[in-house]
Amino acid sequence: MIPDFPRMTGTPFTPADFDAVRVNRTAAERRAASLTARRSVKKEWQAAWLLRAVTCIDLTTLAGDDTPGRVARLCAKARAPLRPDLLDALGLEPMTVGAVCVYPTMVPHAVRALEGSGVPVASVATGFPAGLTPLPLRLEEIRYAVGEGAAEIDIVITREHVLTGRWSALYDEIAAMRAVCGAAHMKAILATGDLKTLSNVYRASMVAMQAGADFIKTSTGKENVNATLPVSLTMLRALRDFQARTGQKVGFKPAGGLKTAKDALAWLILMKEELGTRHMMPDLFRIGASSLLGDIERQIEHHVTGRYSAANRHALA
Amino acid sequence: MPHIRDIMQTMDYGPAPEDSSEVLHWLDGHSGGIGHFIDGTFLAPSGPLADVYSPADARVIARLGHAGAAEVDAAVEAARAAQAGWAALSGHDRARYLYAIARHVQKRERFLAVLETMDNGKTIRETRDIDVPLVARHFYHHAGWAELLEDSFPGHVPHGVCGQVIPWNFPLLMLAWKVAPALAAGNTVVLKPADLTPLAAQAFAEICVEIGLPPGVLNIVQGDGATGALVTGHPGVDKVAFTGSTEVGRTIRRQTAGSGKALTLELGGKSPFIVCEDADLDAAVEGVVDAVWFNQGEVCCAGSRILVQEGVAEEFFDRLRARMATLRVGDPLDKTMDVGAVVSAGQLARISELLAHGQAEGAVLHSAGGDLPADGYFCSPGFFTGTGPGDTVNREEIFGPVATTMTFRTPDEAVQLANDTRYGLAATVWSQDIDRAIGIAAGVKSGVVWINATNLFDAGAPFGGMRESGFGREGGRAGMAAYLVPPSSGPGQPRPAPAPAPVAAPFGGAQDGPGIDATAKLYVGGRQVRADSGQSFTVTDANGTAIGQAALGNRKDIRNAVEAASKATGWGGVTAHNRAQVLYFLAENLAQRRAGFEALLARNCTPDLAVAEVDAAIRRCFWYAAQADKRAGVVQATAARHVTLSLNEPWGVVGVVCPDEAPLLALLSLVLPALAMGNRVVAVPSQSQPLVAALLYQVLETSDIPAGVLNLVTGPRAALARTLAEHDEVACLWYCGSADDAARIEAWSAGNLKPTWTDGGRLRDWADPAQGQGNAFLDRATQVKTVWIPYGD
């Protein structure tokens, strides 16, 4: 998808935009809980929303045992996430997922496997998942991934800077990463499960956007707590505040823990209610997931046939 | 139907209707009309039937019979006949019934939610997720109270037959709040639902039949206000509980005056919603959604007066406008709707009229806009800016989805503005600063305070108002207490007819021999003052011998005393330990001057009794000094990660009108609990033995009681009591006098709806600690403020 807005540039470091912010956890949890109870999508609308979710998935494998073969299989699924007969039944053209997300050394394999598909390759970088390698090495890792053809870079932040309140250090680090990314879009993973408080989440989100992150992303998938609705709500509110101040558009990517079609709908509802329909498209919304797609496929088949489906009727990712 | 390809671009929600076929089938079964439920039997309605509308589409969905005197009589008779047997059951046996009701509500949750939505117009999201679960929770909680009644309320007995009248905004939930505690306590019930929303009660009665509730324990009479008046005015009703408007509450207060009926009132509100500059503004915006855009704003405790700190006001209003634009208003049975239909065409007209009035007064109405359904009674959510404290929309309940806003500069000013209302039902405070938030919570005059949350309810958390929002609590221990008679208030003999009011005419009878003339004055604001009338009256002893002159107080003296008391605000703020010290010191000084008191008292009784009365008075000082620091309140188990406090707060200015007998002991028995709990008191001492006041104020002066905390005005009891009853600054009034006087006092108190305690005009034995002191006094000396404090970062 070609963005209809200029790429965000970030702003100078502006602590006044987040210093005083305090997020009330209980209220955020209440909003998150009632949000999904206040909205519901059924029938055609549900199918359409789930298909929209498919186009937003960053189909991901980030495991120590990844191999070129494994990545190739994932990429095949990314090219054709849904069975053609289901698409035919729904009267839809073929579609793809949003991107494939892999470790840097898997980037060349993924690029090769996705050639001609239009599906970008996203690479994690900067010492993923802990981010505790020296900064020059982390920057070099970005250069490597971009050089191998990654169009999107998912960086991790230094949690220490958040936990000790060194916001300018955090800003400088992320800004340096953005500079190295060049044309590749940068997603800043905040590892919110490590940041603990929602006020930290808000502040880290704001610093990442000021430093030029194209997307802010919840989790590596490796923390004890991954994407949750209250955390996502907090990040979206920071995002909305940033957009209102600067006019720059920023994307959002929840990752880790979104496993069911119901989860996908919940996050889409959250996007629509807090940011609006425009932020439900893959240039501004991604879902980092691996098993989610399988559940959506079965739901779509149920929509088409009226019968409950089984996993073995859909191609393995 | 749009193609999936198109929906993938628009990302619309599409329709998500809840299935109403079960309810439609049920309505078909009741097409002959909704009647009454009396003595376990459903009675077909008689007489002309009134249409019941579905607010969402203005269609008639049922027809309702209105109960007249014959039906109400039959219902009260059935309740009376069933009451002894119901109360005789063990608490456990009653608990089994309440438990069965709770379970059946859960088993019928979908049906009840849909029925309530169709009857009231509120969204299915709310009936499904809020109303019905709270109803089940209420019956579970009160099954617990029934089980524990003998342990938790030893010696208490039920009132008997309860007449209960409930409103249309939460038909099933208000039924639960009324019926559950009444039945748990062993009362039987005659309930009158609102004529706009009669269906939930009918369905509930069917559940009661299903679980085998004994006939007559719950009776339901349908109808409008006229039927309600028959219930509340029925001589066979022992306790009246009403939820509804303040105006009707006032009428019921006057109607029940002198009847001896116990009374609790849950009335209107104009509750402040305070947003401080250090609040999580997005959270506070969601708070507004849950406050005034909840239930179409038809919520007595809705945070409908938004007070925002000036520095963040514009930003807050911007965020509020943005949020308002995402609200979905429409068919309440659609699961994606935030706001449904208001209850009736009449209510919609009333809201519209007030909105127009607000705009005419110069306020700006910000409205969500968008298309509203063509049929049905829909009102666009919104809020006013540019309102002043005196504007109609800031004084009157709109009872629709529109809030007013004002700004404040400091937390002090927020409290001032918050309290600038006749009402005192609920308040909401948004601040991330714990000192500030709890400071404001302590300062607002309201029965419920939510910090960083709003409209939280739980069966265990007492709910109810201060000021003209009514009195009495529902939920928790305080709510149960409202359906029980404490053991100490057993019946005494009726008080004799009052003595003639004192007059200032010269006295021609026998006099004590010449001594140095003593001057008995009034005691107001910590000073001995002459009566405004400039006159005194002759006080005689039991033999008719004149023993002195007492100041003849009048309404202006009461006015001055109340003024002094209202200014003595420090008393409620000092530590309970300080108050205890003062009361102990009072006892000490009383003991030192006991000879004078004994001599004076002995003019009207035997010397032994006089000694005993002073002894008892000193002991009573000790007892209430001991209590002063032991009744601050309790923590309730409600939601996870919430501290919910029930604080026992003083009323403020309490009026105390003493009986003729036991002039020292009765006066102290009444005044001490009020003082111990932090109230300031204006007391009218014994009319026929007022000289004890003059001795007492000398003790007060030496006992460190701050000026204005206790004021003594002697004189004609009935006239002074009337001034107290009608005084809007007096928050609570205790009156010991004849039944006739008590009736008048209760009627006069309707002005500001101050709770009164008249004892039904019966005598107490003040010397008996079981009657003359105890928890019943302390309970009446305070009102519960429930404070919800969520926590966790």
Stated pTM of the model:
0.97
**Annotated active-site residue in B266, B397, B598, B746:** B266
Let me know if residue B668 belongs to a domain: yes
Residue B573 binned pLDDT confidence (cut-offs 50, 70, 90): confident
Same domain for B407 and B312?
A: yes
Q: What's the domain range around B574?
A: 521-785
* Best residue in B124, B277, B280, B333 for a mutation probing chain A (most A CBs within 10 Å): B280
Tell me the one-letter amino acid at A307.
R
Residue from the list B11, B129, B278 with its beta carbon closest to the beta carbon of A272: B11
pLDDT at B489: 58
> Could A26 and B278 be called an inter-chain contact, meaning their C-beta atoms sit closer than 8 Å?
no
Average pLDDT over residues B720-730: 98
Q: Catalytic site residue A217?
A: yes
Side-chain-side CA neighbours of A96 within 13 Å: the count stands at 17
pLDDT at B143: 98
Kindly report whether the peptide bond that precedes residue A129 is cis, defined as omega within 30 degrees of 0. Answer: yes
pLDDT at B487: 85
How far B433 CA sits from the closest chain A CA (Å)?
10
Let me know if residue B475 belongs to a domain: no
Average pLDDT over residues B294-306: 97
pLDDT at B760: 81
* Best residue in B127, B275, B793 for a mutation probing chain A (most A CBs within 10 Å): B793
Neighbours of B41 (CB within 10 A): 14
Same domain for B313 and B289?
A: yes
Residue from the list A23, A38, A42 with its beta carbon closest to the beta carbon of B338: A38
Neighbours of A153 (CB within 10 A): 28
Q: Which residues of B touch A41 (CB under 8 A)?
A: 13-14, 16
**Phi, psi for B629 (deg, rounded to 5):** -110, 25
| Class (C level, CATH) for A26-309 | alpha beta
Residue B510 binned pLDDT confidence (cut-offs 50, 70, 90): confident
Same domain for B278 and B415?
A: yes
Residue B503 binned pLDDT confidence (cut-offs 50, 70, 90): confident
Average pLDDT over residues B123-139: 98
Average pLDDT over residues B668-673: 98
> Could A48 and B453 be called an inter-chain contact, meaning their C-beta atoms sit closer than 8 Å?
no
Let me know if residue B2 belongs to a domain: no
pLDDT at B493: 87
Q: Which residues of B touch A51 (CB under 8 A)?
A: 4, 8
Q: Which residue has the higher pLDDT, B554 or B509?
A: B554
* Best residue in B3, B7, B122, B282 for a mutation probing chain A (most A CBs within 10 Å): B282
Q: Which residues of B touch A237 (CB under 8 A)?
A: 282
Same domain for B245 and B328?
A: no
Same domain for B257 and B288?
A: no
Cα–Cα distance between B119 and B197 in angstroms, integer?
A: 6
On the question of pLDDT at B258 being above 60, the answer is: yes
Residues 6+ apart with CB under 8 A from B194: B166, B167, B168, B171
% of chain B at pLDDT higher than 90 = 93
pLDDT in tens, B704-716: 999 999 999 999 9
pLDDT at B491: 56
Let me know if residue B167 belongs to a domain: yes
pLDDT in tens, B643-652: 999 999 999 9
* DSSP notation for B744-792: HHHHHGGGTT--EE-GGGB---TTSHHHHSSHHHHHHTEEEEEEEEE--
pLDDT at B496: 83
pLDDT in tens, A105-152: 999 999 999 999 999 999 999 999 999 999 999 999 999 999 999 999
On the question of pLDDT at B488 being above 80, the answer is: no
Q: Which residues of A touch B327 (CB under 8 A)?
A: none
| Residues B281, B390 contacting (CB under 8 angstroms) | no
Q: Catalytic site residue A154?
A: yes
Average pLDDT score, chain A: 97
pLDDT at B363: 97
pLDDT in tens, B135-151: 999 999 999 999 999 99
Same domain for B159 and B82?
A: yes
Q: Which residues of A touch B7 (CB under 8 A)?
A: 44-45, 48-49
> Could A22 and B432 be called an inter-chain contact, meaning their C-beta atoms sit closer than 8 Å?
yes
Let me know if residue B477 belongs to a domain: no
Domain boundary among B266, B285, B317: B266
| Residues A81, A125 contacting (CB under 8 angstroms) | no
Cα–Cα distance between B562 and B77 in angstroms, integer?
A: 45
Residue B514 binned pLDDT confidence (cut-offs 50, 70, 90): low
pLDDT in tens, B604-643: 999 999 999 999 999 999 999 999 999 999 999 999 999 9
On the question of pLDDT at A1 being above 60, the answer is: no
**Phi, psi for B675 (deg, rounded to 5):** -65, -40
Nearest-CA neighbor of B263 among B272, B275, B273, B254? Answer: B254
Residue from the list B13, B129, B290 with its beta carbon closest to the beta carbon of A45: B13
Nearest CA in chain B to A201: B793
Cα–Cα distance between B765 and B607 in angstroms, integer?
A: 18
How far A273 CA sits from the closest chain B CA (Å)?
7
Same domain for B280 and B323?
A: yes
Q: Which residues of A touch B428 (CB under 8 A)?
A: none
Q: Which residues of A touch B278 (CB under 8 A)?
A: 20, 22
**Annotated active-site residue in A194, A249, A253, A263:** A253
pLDDT at A142: 98
Residues 681-720 of B with CB under 8 A from A: none
* Best residue in B1, B10, B11, B129 for a mutation probing chain A (most A CBs within 10 Å): B11
Average pLDDT score, chain B: 96
Same domain for B259 and B339?
A: no
Same domain for B310 and B250?
A: no
> Could A45 and B790 be called an inter-chain contact, meaning their C-beta atoms sit closer than 8 Å?
no
Residue from the list B8, B10, B280 with its beta carbon closest to the beta carbon of A22: B280
Average pLDDT over residues A222-230: 96
Residue B511 binned pLDDT confidence (cut-offs 50, 70, 90): confident
pLDDT in tens, A172-199: 999 999 999 999 999 999 999 999 999 9
Same domain for B247 and B339?
A: no
On the question of pLDDT at B791 being above 60, the answer is: yes
pLDDT at B519: 80
> Could A39 and B280 be called an inter-chain contact, meaning their C-beta atoms sit closer than 8 Å?
no
Nearest-CA neighbor of A305 among A94, A50, A90, A91? Answer: A90
Let me know if residue B488 belongs to a domain: no
Packing angle of the helix pair B555-567, B717-726 (nearest 10 deg): 50
- ipTM value greater than 0.95: yes
Strand A185-189 and strand A215-217: pairing?
Answer: parallel
How far A72 CA sits from the closest chain B CA (Å)?
29
| Residues B7, B14 contacting (CB under 8 angstroms) | yes
Nearest-CA neighbor of B190 among B286, B55, B72, B110? Answer: B72
pLDDT in tens, B414-450: 999 999 999 999 999 999 999 999 999 999 999 999 9
How far B401 CA sits from the closest chain A CA (Å)?
17
> Could A31 and B280 be called an inter-chain contact, meaning their C-beta atoms sit closer than 8 Å?
no
Q: Catalytic site residue A214?
A: no
| Residues B695, B592 contacting (CB under 8 angstroms) | no
**Phi, psi for B423 (deg, rounded to 5):** -90, 175
Same domain for B255 and B297?
A: no
Cα–Cα distance between B359 and B361 in angstroms, integer?
A: 5
pLDDT at B490: 54
> Could A42 and B14 be called an inter-chain contact, meaning their C-beta atoms sit closer than 8 Å?
yes
pLDDT in tens, A43-70: 999 999 999 999 999 999 999 999 999 9
Strand A152-156 and strand A121-125: pairing?
Answer: parallel
pLDDT at A3: 59
Residue from the list B2, B14, B280 with its beta carbon closest to the beta carbon of A41: B14
* B341: alpha, beta or left? (left if phi > 0; alpha if psi -120 to 50): beta
CB–CB contacts below 8 A, A to B? 95
> Could B3 and A91 be called an inter-chain contact, meaning their C-beta atoms sit closer than 8 Å?
yes
Same domain for B528 and B420?
A: no
> Could A40 and B3 be called an inter-chain contact, meaning their C-beta atoms sit closer than 8 Å?
no
Nearest CA in chain A to B287: A27
Domain boundary among B405, B438, B467: B467
Domain boundary among B214, B248, B266: B266
Q: Which residues of B touch A277 (CB under 8 A)?
A: 10-11
Residue from the list B5, B16, B283 with its beta carbon closest to the beta carbon of A41: B16
* Best residue in A17, A38, A267, A299 for a mutation probing chain B (most B CBs within 10 Å): A38
Is B314 part of the contact surface with chain A (CB cutoff 8 Å)?
A: no
Q: Which residues of B touch A96 (CB under 8 A)?
A: none
Q: What is the count of structural domains for chain B?
A: 3
Residues 121-180 of B with CB under 8 A from A: 125, 129
Residue from the list A28, A38, A49 with its beta carbon closest to the beta carbon of B125: A38
Cα–Cα distance between A144 and A148 in angstroms, integer?
A: 6
On the question of pLDDT at A2 being above 70, the answer is: no
Residue from the list B1, B287, B790 with its beta carbon closest to the beta carbon of A44: B1
> In residues, how long is chain A?
317
Average pLDDT over residues B723-748: 95
pLDDT at B572: 85
